[in-house]
Homo-oligomer: A and B are copies of this chain.
Amino acid sequence: MTTLPTTELFGLDNLPYGIASKPGHAPHVVARLRDHAIDLAGLAADAGGDAWIDAWSQSTLNSFVAQGRPSWRAARAWLRDTLRDESRAEVVAARLHPLTEVTLHLPIAVADYVDFYASEQHATNVGRIFRPDGAALTPNWKHLPIGYHGRAGTVVVSGTDIVRPCGQRKAPTDAEPTFGPSIRLDIEAELGFVVGGDTAIGTRVGVDEAADHLFGVGLFNDWSARDIQAWEYVPLGPFLGKSFASSLAAWITPMDALSAARTAAPQQDPQPLPYLRGEDRFGLDIDIEVELGGTVISRPPYSTTYWSPTQMLAHLTVNGACLRTGDLFASGTVSGTEADQRGSLLELTWSGKEPLQLADGSTRSFLEDGDVVTLRATAPGTDGGRIGLGEVTGRILPART
């Protein structure tokens, strides 16, 4: 079972944002305080947060995220002050709803979704598995953060069931491809970064400007059908092996709640081209855990990730591609250097050759129907303790054949 406490991680130094509804009411913006959702538009109306009432009355975070970093910071300061203000205790209490009484929704309307491949250890593991006799990393890997666009319309909120996808697969030894349910269904433990603030097409966001566009972070599980992916991905990249579903946490932790989690970015050798350098290159000391069937099977450390989120955003826009509020980019699978820090079953079982043993005595090479996978994470908070990222969880349903 999880080693993480469940509620103290969501105190005043955290306050992640989400979207919640009660039966018969429209979804709107909330913040999480311990085991409660704060109705933010209501609180703002009662306690002087007029600047955010409209944005917090919406059914996604996008309007709020569009307001930009000065507004995000002012809102967070206002919220923390209000929650600490004993004279407002009754006003606050009236706007708290137990999490057990609300439904959580996808926090953002995703504009474009990009998945990167930013963990050196993950890319190395994948290279060793698929190209045992070649170089583990492709020649471009240390020169640019490799990424590709995924399907924005199938990003789902934590808790959504995942139907096992069907598709074509062909092992190298098969004469012809066959069709059916994926038999190598996998997870990828990632962080998803929510982007705010539109930019103009033809312009760039540099490494040192990127943080102005980073609203927050959510745990992200990029479900992957390895057999479908292996057959389809040459030459244009992953498509149906990924596009059936990707799960995003219901809670987006503001970057400002992670200021104490900032770490020095890993040294980069060779030094990348100038547009990927910059002062604001950082890692995040976020410890992830992956639970499958009640067993923690891995603890990937995000701090080891080679490419900084600010480098990913700078790379994404260096060709003039514009940003839109609601863009989501994910880190790619996070894998540490140790065997029990790998962020995918592909790596944890070395392509199925070394099955995992779960606490109930069963073994897994890849996911079985009924399996529940949950990602959790903690990081240093600004008030001296640790804060939690909202979990992302999903259960595998049988394929619809």
Contact = CB atoms under 8 A, between A and B. Distances in A.
B237 A152 contact: no
Given A149-B151, A245-B201, A320 B231 contact: no
Nearest to A234: B138
Nearest to A327: B153
A112 interface: yes
Interface stretch (A12-20, A69-77, A92-100, A160-168): A160-168
A21 B327 CA distance: 28
Nearest to A201: B154
Given A235-B138, A273-B168, A318 B152 contact: no
A216 to B, nearest CB: 20
B163 A143 contact: no
A295 to B, nearest CB: 27
A165 B320 contact: yes
Interface string A151-182: 11110100000010111101000001111000
A327 B239 CA distance: 15
Contacts of A150: 149
Given A153-B112, A179-B275, A321-B244, A236 B234 contact: no
Contact of A153 (B165, B231, B235, B321): B321
B320 A166 contact: yes
Contacts of A237: 148, 233, 235-238
Interface in A96-128: 111-112, 114, 117
Contacts of A320: 163, 165-166, 244-245, 400
A233 B235 contact: yes
Given A203-B400, A236-B147, A324-B153, A274 B179 contact: yes
A321 B154 contact: yes
Contacts of A168: 140, 143-144, 273
A112 B319 contact: no
Contacts of A147: 236, 239
A322 interface: yes
Given A144-B232, A243-B149, A275-B179, A318 B238 contact: no
Given A143-B170, A146-B235, A204-B400, 10 more contacts: A114-B239, A140-B231, A140-B234, A144-B232, A148-B236, A149-B243, A153-B324, A156-B201, A233-B237, A244-B321
Which 10 pairs show the lowest CB-CB distances between chains A and B?
A237-B237, A165-B319, A163-B202, A149-B149, A148-B236, A244-B319, A240-B319, A236-B237, A243-B321, A244-B320
